[in-house]
């Protein structure tokens, strides 16, 4: 007989229906209380949802957008600056700017040091900037692309980049004073960058994006406003002529131990500035520790007494008014003249000279004798007509007026000294423009820094006959027996006038000099005017014919060849000719 299983008997022995625990009645208030609690919780959640989704929806959406939605500026590219042939003088390149979201940034000590090294900043500075930040902070602007790729490889939370434009200047020092430069925010500070700021500056655009916690753009919201890029500016400058002029000027400044120098090259048919060079110069892309001497555009901002370069204008006025002819003789012996108690002298006595020889030999006495035949008013009117004492009308910042006092205040000795360039002041640019009167058969032409294909319309100052007569005198002055035979250019006839003057400091003149040469070529049908100034040559040679004229010669040769101007002289005869000695210049 089988025994019954113990487990089966135990289960059957329990009577659930009669369990005291289950048989006890639950109070009704307890179940109601639970229901009330559940309902209250539901209503609370429902109220919160209504509050968030309806009542304060704008606030919470804004808070969410602050964390993930960002308005991203789309910078506009600044317009390019081009030379007359379309070569780039200044352009903008998009560069990474590194930013960090301080709230999401996470990096260990090793990563921080690596990041600081790639950003070229001390680790302590990086830590300090991150500690002080509350939101997004810019760590470094205009980071090289390869550096940004290395930063990305660190895979740091909260580090991202935006693209900003950085200005590049391919011609460097050679065109620095023409082009100028911008600040880090792409605003023009000097030169064309400043003068043409409205045209070059664009308008930034904008887009709304969603970023993830790593700072990466994952979505664009809505339509973006595209940037409007700046307009290009095409200059009259020929970058090849500009570079050669700057290079030759730099060599002359170093050769003569000079303080500085300038060159201006003008196209006399169109009035275009083909070159405007200064030394010392600077690299527009590297502007730390620059001095005022490097930044000054001396051709436009420095004024000086033009000295003997004014003698051709005195002769032109005497010719124009019929007081003399090129063959009229003037007694310059004994090489000095006294006016109002002051004595004016030549470098050495010349005796009897024709008017043409007065300019060729640069005689002070002969020039003064012509000037004293004329009323001061006539001289003042001529000087005013050629632009002296007036600010040049050119789209370029920094051009100065110079100094020309009213003729009513001139004393006789002042009229005498002004006839050969003392007692008034002008910039090299003003002198270059003034000489277009001789190059353009008596017309003074407007000048421009922008490309101008049409011939310039000039203003009549003297007759064409007088201008050609003076041009012949300038040819003599730049040839054998003149003060600047070193101005001769291989293959081209040239004419011009030297200038040498002591520098005035306070009320007295010093033993410091400025040397310059202003001339034109070819003489028969001039195409260019070139003006050269070398400031304070210090190695014993300071005459314009020895310091500035050689620069003029080389710039003329190079420029006319680049302009495809046919030579008008026999090159072989010039090469075989023996160098002529220069006439000692009176100043």
The residues carrying an active-site annotation are 308
The 8-class DSSP code of residue 172 comes to G
Peptide bond into 334 cis (omega under 30): yes
The residues with which 508 forms a beta bridge, in sequence order, are 505
A 10 A CB-CB count for 88 gives: 15
**What CA–CA distance (Å, rounded) separates 192 from 181?**
8
Size of the chain in residues: 587
Number of H-type helices and E-type strands within the chain: 24, 23
Q: How far apart are the first and last CA of the chain?
A: 154
Taking only Cα atoms into account, the Rg of the chain, rounded to an integer number of angstroms, comes to 40
**What CA–CA distance (Å, rounded) separates 84 from 162?**
34
The residues with which 509 forms a beta bridge, in sequence order, are 504
Reading phi first (left if > 0) and then psi (alpha if -120 to 50, else beta), residue 398 is in left
364 and 345 Cβ atoms separated by less than 8 Å: yes
Reading phi first (left if > 0) and then psi (alpha if -120 to 50, else beta), residue 322 is in left
The 3-state DSSP class for residue 517 equals: strand
**What CA–CA distance (Å, rounded) separates 401 from 392?**
7
The 8-class DSSP code of residue 77 comes to P
The 3-state DSSP class for residue 28 equals: helix
**What CA–CA distance (Å, rounded) separates 107 from 109?**
7
CB-based burial, 12-47: b 16+ in 10 Å, e otherwise: eeeeeeeeeeeeeeeeeeeeeeeeeeeeeeeeeeee
The 3-state DSSP class for residue 50 equals: helix
**What CA–CA distance (Å, rounded) separates 474 from 369?**
19
Q: Is 354 exposed, middle or buried (0-12, 13-18, 19+ CB in 10 A)?
A: middle
Task: Output the six-digit token pair for 504.
Answer: 């005035």
**What CA–CA distance (Å, rounded) separates 241 from 274?**
7
Nearest to 363 by CA among 124, 91, 583: 583
Task: Output the six-digit token pair for 256.
Answer: 């003569």
**What CA–CA distance (Å, rounded) separates 557 from 131?**
63
The residues with which 459 forms a beta bridge, in sequence order, are 444
Angle formed at CA 315 by CA 516 and CA 587, multiple of 5 degrees: 40
99 and 161 Cβ atoms separated by less than 8 Å: yes
Q: Where are the alpha helices (DSSP H) in 51-122?
A: 57-68, 109-118
* Sequence-separated (6 or more) residues with CB below 8 Å from residue 551: 248, 249, 252, 261, 263, 517, 532, 534
């Amino acid at each position: 007989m089988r025994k019954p299983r113990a487990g089966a008997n135990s289960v059957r022995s329990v009577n659930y229906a009669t369990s005291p625990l289950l048989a006890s009645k639950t109070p009704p208030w307890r179940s109601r209380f639970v229901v009330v609690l559940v309902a209250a919780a539901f209503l609370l959640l429902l109220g919160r949802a209504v509050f968030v989704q309806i009542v304060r929806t704008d606030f919470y959406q804004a808070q969410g957008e602050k964390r993930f939605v960002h308005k991203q500026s789309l910078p506009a590219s600044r317009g390019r600056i081009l030379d007359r042939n379309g070569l780039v003088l200044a352009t903008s390149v998009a560069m990474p700017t590194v930013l960090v979201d301080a709230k999401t940034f996470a990096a260990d000590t090793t990563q921080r040091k690596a990041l600081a090294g790639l950003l070229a900043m001390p680790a302590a500075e990086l830590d300090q900037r991150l500690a002080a930040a509350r939101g997004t902070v810019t760590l470094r602007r205009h980071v090289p692309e390869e550096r940004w790729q290395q930063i990305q490889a660190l895979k740091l939370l909260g580090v991202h980049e935006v693209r900003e434009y950085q200005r590049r200047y391919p011609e460097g020092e050679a065109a620095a004073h023409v082009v100028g430069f911008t600040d880090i925010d792409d605003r023009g500070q000097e030169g064309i960058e400043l003068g043409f700021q409205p045209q070059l500056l664009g308008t930034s655009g904008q887009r709304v994006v969603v970023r993830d916690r790593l700072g990466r753009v994952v979505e664009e919201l809505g339509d973006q406003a595209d940037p409007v890029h700046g307009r290009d500016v095409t200059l009259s400058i020929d970058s090849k002529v500009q570079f050669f002029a700057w290079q030759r000027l730099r060599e002359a400044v170093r050769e003569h131990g000079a303080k500085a120098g300038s060159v201006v090259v003008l196209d006399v048919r169109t009035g275009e500035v083909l070159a405007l060079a200064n030394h010392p110069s600077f690299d527009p892309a590297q502007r730390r520790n620059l001095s005022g001497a490097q930044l000054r555009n001396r051709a436009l901002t420095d004024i000086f007494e033009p000295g003997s370069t004014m003698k051709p204008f005195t002769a032109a006025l005497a010719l124009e008014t019929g007081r003399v002819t090129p063959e009229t003789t003037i007694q310059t012996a004994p090489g000095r003249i006294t006016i109002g108690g002051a004595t004016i002298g030549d470098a050495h006595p010349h005796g009897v000279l024709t008017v043409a020889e007065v300019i060729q030999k640069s005689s002070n006495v002969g020039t003064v004798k012509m000037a004293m035949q004329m009323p001061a008013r006539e001289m003042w009117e001529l000087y005013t007509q050629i632009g002296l004492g007036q600010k040049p009308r050119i789209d370029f910042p920094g051009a100065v007026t110079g100094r020309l006092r009213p003729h009513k205040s001139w004393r006789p000795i002042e009229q005498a000294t002004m006839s050969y360039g003392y007692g008034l002041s002008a910039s090299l640019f003003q002198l270059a423009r003034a000489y277009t009167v001789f190059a353009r058969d008596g017309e003074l032409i407007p000048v421009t820094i922008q490309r101008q294909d049409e011939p310039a319309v000039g203003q009549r100052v003297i007759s064409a006959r007088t201008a050609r007569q003076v041009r012949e005198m300038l040819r003599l002055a730049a040839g054998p027996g003149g003060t600047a035979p070193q101005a001769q250019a291989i293959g081209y006839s040239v004419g011009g006038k030297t200038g040498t003057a002591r520098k005035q400091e306070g009320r007295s003149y010093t033993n410091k000099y400025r040397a310059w040469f202003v001339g034109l070529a070819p003489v028969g049908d001039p195409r260019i005017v070139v003006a050269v100034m070398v400031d304070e040559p210090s190695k014993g040679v300071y005459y314009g014919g020895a310091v500035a004229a050689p620069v003029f010669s080389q710039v003329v040769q190079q420029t006319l060849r680049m302009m495809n101007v046919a030579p008008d002289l026999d090159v072989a005869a010039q090469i075989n000719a023996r160098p002529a000695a220069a006439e000692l210049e009176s100043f």
